[in-house]
Amino acid sequence: MSDDIMEMTIEEDYPEFREAVAKICEGFPGQYWRDLEDQPPEGSYPTEFVNALTESGFLGALIPEEFGGSGLPIRAGAVILEAIHENGCTAAACHAQMYTMGTVLRHGTDDQKNEYLPKIASGELRLQAFAVTEPTTGSDTTQLKTKAERKGNGYVVNGQKVWTSRAAHSDLMLLLARTTPVEECTKRTDGLSCFLIDLREAQGNGCDIKPLDAMINHNTTEVFFDNLQIPGSSLIGEEGKGFRYILDGMNAERVLIAAESLGDGKFFIKKGVNYANERVVFDKPIGHNQGIQFPLAKAWAELQGADIMARKAATMFDAGEPCGAEANMAKYLAAKAAWEAAEACLTTHGGFGFAREYDVERKWREARLYRTAPISENMILAYIGQNVLGMPRSY
């Protein structure tokens, strides 16, 4: 632990970023997102929105300046994503472009970093697909079955991934695959490796991407590997250490996703309060009723609490301090608070909450996701119970 006192800001930091993002989002109102939901998978990606964000440079926020990014702390990335969600838009279509590169940054060779990071920073190359989860192993990540077997100077990949979002809109994909059979590993966390796959080469040559029809427009897919050949230079870092590489990027991801939930929460509270003040039934604004007012107030209080935890996690991360507990708690609290706010907003709108044109139900459906992904509430509780509070492993 450092001897320095750790301080964090409690004000609305990076106001220039918040304003700039709000301006971009103004160009993408509810109708834009609703229309996308009516498209088949091929046409449902928010290309124009992602382009606008790419051009703004915000997606390169976390890439060091030496590689063409802005070299900002994770807190800045969090503020950008929070602002996107607060303004009614959805960052899921492009947030990975911000942080998936982290594995290359921390564990790639100089060659790999020089080759890829500048192009990711400019948006010339999209690295926004992260192939980890598998249909049969779910939360038991280390037991994943997709194999990458040595063949000459490269590898041959066989297996299947699920919930690989944005794979159809990415040029590169980070893949976690098994390089040492489970039986030959001493620890559960050994034997996995990270690869940077060039999807432009791989698709149709042993890598097939199938859109998944889901409750929300998440541009998510199943990916099938059938004797996909990849060059040896695809390997990131050392064979067998892939799980550890992925892990150290998890905290960053948790902090960033928590920020999206916080933005959602603010969106819902604002919409709910506006409607509660405007909608007059029984001769008074419905917000006059505690049955409407209190759930919104409660959700706001939960949101404020989650916000402080999220700032703490970001501050510790940027200071290089271990922050697994804080990052997980931030993710947990923010997703829960956002859901409470979503529920209060939907309830406040009465029947109109169900009408698509009111733009409540879309974000409500999306808010449900973060209680499950990228890590579920139960898995976070298991982590806290075991690794923070010292109770036995329960699963």
Partner 1 sequence: MSDSEAKLILDDEDFPELRNEVRKLCEKYPAEYWLALEDEPPESSYPTEFVQELTDAGYLAALIPEEYGGSGLSLRAGSVILETVCEMGCQGSACHAQMYTMGTVLRHGSDEQKKHYLPKIATGELRLQAFGVTEPTTGSDTTQLQTKAERDGNGYVINGQKVWISRAGHSDVMLLLARTTPKEECEKRTDGVSVFLVDMREAKKDGMEIKPIDAMINHNTTEIFFDNVHIPGDALIGEEGKGFRYILDGMNAERCLVSAESIGNARFLLNKAIKYANERVVFDRPIGQNQGIQFPIADAYIKLQSSDLMVRKATAMFEAGLSCGAEANCGKYLSSEALWACAEACFTTHGGFAFAREYDVERKWREARLSRNAPISPNMIMNFIGQHVLGMPRSY
- Compute the least distance from the CB of residue 339 to partner 1, in Å: 10
Of 95 and 312, nearer to partner 1 (C-beta) is 95
Of 97 and 220, nearer to partner 1 (C-beta) is 220
- Compute the least distance from the CB of residue 301 to partner 1, in Å: 20
> Is residue 359 within the footprint of partner 1 (CB under 8 A)?
no
Task: Give the interface segment with partner 1, choosing from 45-53, 92-100, 192-200, 374-382 (CB under 8 A).
Answer: 374-382
Cβ proximity of 85 and 269 under 8 Å = no
DSSP state of 6: P
- Compute the least distance from the CB of residue 220 to partner 1, in Å: 8
> Is residue 189 within the footprint of partner 1 (CB under 8 A)?
no
- Rounded distance between C-alpha atoms, residue 370 and residue 334, angstroms: 9
Cα-based distances in Å from 383 to 11, 58, 233, 253, 380 = 30, 32, 35, 16, 5
> Is residue 351 within the footprint of partner 1 (CB under 8 A)?
yes
Q: How many CB atoms lie within 10 A of CB 182?
A: 14
Instruction: Give residue 305's Cα distance to chain centre.
Output: 21
Among 3, 111, 187, 291, binds partner 1 (CB under 8 A): 291
Task: Give the interface segment with partner 1, choosing from 49-57, 170-178, 247-255, 289-297 (CB under 8 A).
Answer: 289-297
- Rounded distance between C-alpha atoms, residue 316 and residue 319, angstroms: 5
Q: How many CB atoms lie within 10 A of CB 375?
A: 20
Strand partners, 209: 223
Residue indicated by tokens 């402080």: 308
- Compute the least distance from the CB of residue 159 to partner 1, in Å: 17
Helix or strand holding residue 79 (H, E)? helix 74-86
Strand partners, 172: 127, 198
> Is residue 378 within the footprint of partner 1 (CB under 8 A)?
yes
Supply 125's token pair: 């190359």
> Is residue 185 within the footprint of partner 1 (CB under 8 A)?
no
Q: In the range 113-172, which residues lie near partner 1 by CB under 8 A? A: 133, 137-140, 162-163
- Rounded distance between C-alpha atoms, residue 371 and residue 354, angstroms: 21
Supply 298's token pair: 């409660």
> Is residue 387 within the footprint of partner 1 (CB under 8 A)?
no
- Compute the least distance from the CB of residue 93 to partner 1, in Å: 16
List Cβ neighbours of 290 (8 Å cut-off, separation of 6 or more). none
Supply 265's token pair: 């929460």
> Is residue 182 within the footprint of partner 1 (CB under 8 A)?
no
Task: Give the interface segment with partner 1, choosing from 124-132, 250-258, 290-298, 329-337 (CB under 8 A).
Answer: 290-298
- Compute the least distance from the CB of residue 212 to partner 1, in Å: 6
Among 284, 304, 305, 321, binds partner 1 (CB under 8 A): 284
Cβ proximity of 97 and 119 under 8 Å = no
Among 182, 185, 319, 373, binds partner 1 (CB under 8 A): 373
The binding site for partner 1 (CB under 8 A) comprises 133, 137-140, 162-163, 212-216, 218, 279, 281-284, 288-292, 346-347, 350-351, 353-357, 361, 365, 368-369, 371-373, 376-378, 381-382, 394-395
